[in-house]
Copies of this chain bind each other. A is one copy, B any other.
Amino acid sequence: MRRLRMGMIGGGPGAFIGPVHRFAAELDREIELVAGVFSSDPQRSTAAGDAYRIDPARAYPSLDAMFRAEAGRSDGIDFVAVVTPNHNHLPSARAALEAGLPVITDKPLTATLAEAHALADLVTAAGKPFAVTYTYSGYPLVREARARIAAGEIGTVRKVVVEYPQGWLAGEAVGKQAEWRVDPARAGLGGCIGDIGVHAFQLAEFVTGLRVRELLADLAAVVPGRLLDDDCSILLRFDNGARGVLLASQIEVGELNGLRIRVYGDRGGILWKQEEPNTLTINRLDGTCTLVRSGTGVLGADAAVRTRTPGGHPEGYLEAFANLYRDFAALVRGEAAPLLPGIADGVRGMAFIDTAVSASRDRAGWVTLES
């Protein structure tokens, strides 16, 4: 079975997430990067193609050029990965779908909720595989946590605390990665909430299997002059009545990428930290505290098959990301990938962002999240 051929949109010189998608896509040898429009600047697109070591002829200057040329090749691309800043997600995905290709896109789905709905319509009409890279749902022990909660190991979920602290935007936003994230024209309506808050939101729903029904949001632009939020405190109410707290920040100096989630049921609790991703802590009412360690025989099937090395050989962010691409490859090959986030999850993330931003701006108190 041959490797799938990936075309990338975005990921030019200085990019962070483009190379990550490339690492992740290729790790399991299911996929190979062969083409791309890596930048809207043709010279930069060419330079990126060289850096990725692809055929120079397939580093294209424009979407049009790529889709036309690739359609004419017997070894043309099988799908497209969208890794641009948010405002280019919709046009990029639209062009790919119109070219008849499956799409996998970085999060958040789009720059605005309206765009998300538009994209959902396009995806429905196209009938092609579509995925959103909510990275953290690819971690084996996140899958393990989900499976154990679904199996009733902690009883009925009552309380969820999900936090995503970062500190890298505590000062001036300097550099390519920072600049577009604080620019409404490129990032869309959310700053911190769109960049990382939406990850926390998706993780909470993914792990618990519950859906947020209501929220109360307090978003702030803490750094003077910042136009988008850089600090978010959000209270949640889930559809089963469970309470939740979602905290995300980009101004907490010293925090790197401290995503963590704690889920408490009436019989147990479960804890996971992204920065130490190979251990899951499970507590029970009787005081028992168990560490579930990656790569050991205590893992369930879903986590076990997504772990590539024996216990004690740390896996991390790239491997988790690669698990999403493995699922996506399965989808493109016509197999099932039930846990891979799709268009509905993308739209839901945008609804979360939109609702939180407007509720916070209006000091609206508790508001309902569209389901």
Residues of A at the B interface (CB closer than 8 Å) are 1-3, 16, 19-20, 22-23, 26-27, 29-30, 33, 50, 52-53, 154, 158-159, 161, 163, 165-168, 170-171, 216, 218, 220, 222, 231, 233, 235, 243, 245, 247, 249, 251-258, 262, 264-269, 271, 274-278, 281-293, 295-298, 308-319, 363, 365-366
Contacts and interface: CB of A to CB of B under 8 A. Distances in A.
24 contacts: A3-B53, A27-B318, A30-B53, A159-B222, A161-B247, A161-B252, A222-B243, A253-B268, A254-B268, A256-B293, A256-B295, A274-B314, A275-B312, A276-B276, A276-B314, A286-B297, A288-B290, A289-B292, A313-B316, A314-B314, A315-B316, A315-B317, A316-B316, A318-B318
Nearest to A177: B310
How many copies of this chain sit in the oligomeric assembly?
4
A50 B3 CA distance: 11
A141 B171 CA distance: 26
Given A253-B267, A309-B318, 16 more contacts: A29-B53, A159-B231, A159-B251, A161-B165, A166-B312, A168-B310, A222-B243, A253-B269, A253-B284, A254-B264, A254-B284, A289-B296, A314-B314, A315-B316, A315-B318, A318-B319
Contacts of A16: 309-310
Contacts of A287: 293, 296-298, 311
